[in-house]
Structure 1
Amino acid sequence: MEREAEQFHGQHQGIWVFIEVKDGAIAHVSLELLGAGRMLADKRKSLLSGILIGDQVDHLADELYEYGADQVYVYDDPIYRFYRTESYMRALLDCIRKHKPEILLYGATSTGKDLASAVATDLPTGLTADTTQLDVEADTGLLQASRPAFGGNIMATILCKKYRPQMATVRPKVMKALPQQAGRQGVLIQERIAITEAQIRTKVLEIVRSTIQRVRIDEADIIVAGGKGLGSPAGFELIHELAHTLGGAVGASRDVVEAGWVAHHHQVGQTGVTVTPKIYFAIGISGAIQHIVGMQNSALIIAINKDPTAAIFQASHYGIVGDALTIVPMLIEAFKVAIGRKEEVDVGKI
């Protein structure tokens, strides 16, 4: 069995990234995965490939080369204009069976999670969901996919020893895209399968976009996040006001969301959204590990909490000990004055 397994694994080579396209542009999580994939491919001394499925998308390959891909497999056809599990799965399975990758990465988005689980079931192979760390054994090619487990209290490293390709969905914002290398070139491989609209059971009748205009927390440079330490929904309004003043997004801890103070799409953490803004305010948040794993890679973390022993201070660059209901209005006024004068605010002097 050991010898058979080695022979089976030897047929699979290369690191692949499923390239997600939104509104004609490459989703940033796919560029992040190319950065992670480049590291894995270099350790394995293998090629890094993107797999691109869509309608009139082949021109996007040039951008993928510039972000680290050596080659791009493309399924370009009007039938892929809208994401549907069945059509995308057929294309991806066709490519996997033809070219046999060793590792395949997807973004842990609604599309990536749906497609990865469908593909894993059909092959079959293993799938590690919501990965936050990746590594590979240089000699064996064994993928080490790690993710928080048991409520975020430990990190579990999951291995898929018997089946290939090894697959993982990776949370957005936890990997870093490589600097763009303008003019870098690669190989475009055009693929096609015989598939018609009549063979696809799901039909797209209409695309309805939300009319709610808001800053997405996974894309925001500034996030003001609040917790139960604000005391009430009225206290949480200060979070909205400070975020509005700074042109940032509103974040929240899980207990605030569960209390109904704010909608779930604001939740930061293991069961919410992973974020990496330039500035993250954690206000009235105690610092449970489930929250920390969702924001710990922010460039600058500023915590406000009246408990000097709160765990959030251990994950912060700056901490203010005091009542948020007193401190936040002071911050709002200071920022309003500074913005009006186009000055920088020294938080330590407020």
Structure 2
Amino acid sequence: AFGADKVYTVEDSALKRYEADCYMQVADQVIGQVSPRVILLGNTPMGADLAPRLAFRLQVGLSTDCLELSIDPGTKQLMQTSSVYGGNAQAVFTAEALPQIATIRVKAMSPIKRDGSRKGEVIPTKVAVDMSKVKTKIVGTIKEEVTGVKLEDAPAIVCGGRGCGGPDPYNTTLKELAAVLKGAVGASRPPCDNGWVPEAMHIGLTGKIVAPDIYFAIAISGASQHMSGCSGSKTIIAINKDPEANIFKQAHYGVVGKFEDVVPALTNKLKELLAG
């Protein structure tokens, strides 16, 4: 088992794919039966949609996109840490009303290792889904076309900013480094706004939120809006010709220099090390 002592399961044909009205009914009824003190959801598209609906239904508070969680030893309340002010600071929230609800930023926490000696109890739960209460329906889906590794799943991301100067580096210099790392290429908002790269590559407050093991910020100034999308990365490496760039205050490691010189040299060195 991975840590759960009890797992409540619900099976219904109406739950084949996510419909907010169906999932809300299930969540509401299961919570009524189990009476949990804390409800945690991933800050995924589904979790980010379901959590606020659930909080409103239960008339309790909600903390979204949490980076850390802990239990106050005195009050036994859940302490929820989230980014505020565009990622420039972190705040800790709690609530007295139960259950406490929070969504967790994707990859912000590492899963515990499987323990074969533990065994959780699986509890099938009966829930009635009233289809007359379902006010919306999916009439079609459009899958995002992605070649290679998806940004959200990439162990390493090579992200370029306005300083790249145009679309070419994303298809050459940055792409070559990402290929060596078996990662993906991303971009800050200006390259997307300028049409250099597709919007699907946008990382930031209004783009995708990522948390890879290694994040290369290349020719990126380090604006708070962008850092909100990558601050959860395990290691941030900045490459910028401006030694005063704000990105160096956020990065774990930094290289001052032109990316046109630094990145190819780094790529070649990595190839040598991996080949050896």
The structure in which a higher percent of residues are helix is 1
Distance 2:34 2:141 in 1: 34
Residue 260 of structure 1: how far off its partner (Å): 3.2
TM-aligned CA distance change 1:208 to 1:289, over 3 Å? closer
Percentage identity across paired residues of the two chains: 38
State yes or no: 1:92 paired with 2:27. yes
Residue correspondences, number: 275
User: Relative contact order (alpha carbons < 8 A, sep ≥ 6): 1 or 2 greater?
Assistant: 2
Distance 1:86 1:101 in 2: 21
Distance 1:146 1:232 in 2: 37
Residue 213 of structure 1: how far off its partner (Å): 2.9
Normalised by the length of structure 2, the TM-score is 0.87
Match of 1:138? 73
Deviations 1:63-93 (A, max 9, x none): xxx1111111111122211111111110110
Match of 2:100? 166
TM-aligned CA distance change 1:93 to 1:173, over 3 Å? same
TM-aligned CA distance change 1:214 to 1:274, over 3 Å? same
Amino acid at match of 1:223: I
Amino acid at match of 1:184: R
Match of 2:127? 193
Amino acid at match of 1:343: A
Amino acid at match of 2:76: G
Amino acid at match of 1:277: P
Distance 1:269 1:206 in 2: 28
TM-aligned CA distance change 1:310 to 1:210, over 3 Å? closer
Residue 247 of structure 1: how far off its partner (Å): 3.1
Amino acid at match of 1:105: L
1:194-213 alignment runs, 5 A limit: 194-197=128-131, 199-204=133-138, 207-213=141-147
Amino acid at match of 2:100: Q
Q: Secondary structure at the match of 2:200?
A: helix
Normalised by the length of structure 1, the TM-score is 0.70
Q: Secondary structure at the match of 1:96?
A: helix
Deviations 1:203-250 (A, max 9, x none): 445555344434111211221111112122334443234324543201
Amino acid at match of 2:259: A
1:1-350 alignment runs, 5 A limit: 66-161=1-96, 163-197=97-131, 199-204=133-138, 207-237=141-171, 238-333=173-268, 338=272, 343=275
Q: Secondary structure at the match of 2:119?
A: coil
Residue 288 of structure 1: how far off its partner (Å): 3.0
Distance 1:294 1:206 in 2: 29
Amino acid at match of 2:237: I
Answer yes or no: is the 8 Å Cα contact 2:107–2:212 preserved in 1. Answer: no
Amino acid at match of 2:74: D
Q: Secondary structure at the match of 2:255?
A: strand
Residue 104 of structure 1: how far off its partner (Å): 0.6
Distance 2:143 2:207 in 1: 21
Residue 109 of structure 1: how far off its partner (Å): 0.8
TM-aligned CA distance change 1:302 to 1:135, over 3 Å? same
TM-aligned CA distance change 1:103 to 1:301, over 3 Å? same
Answer yes or no: is the 8 Å Cα contact 2:159–2:216 preserved in 1. Answer: yes
Q: Secondary structure at the match of 2:9?
A: strand
TM-aligned CA distance change 1:200 to 1:317, over 3 Å? closer
Gaps of 5+ in 1: 1-65, 345-350
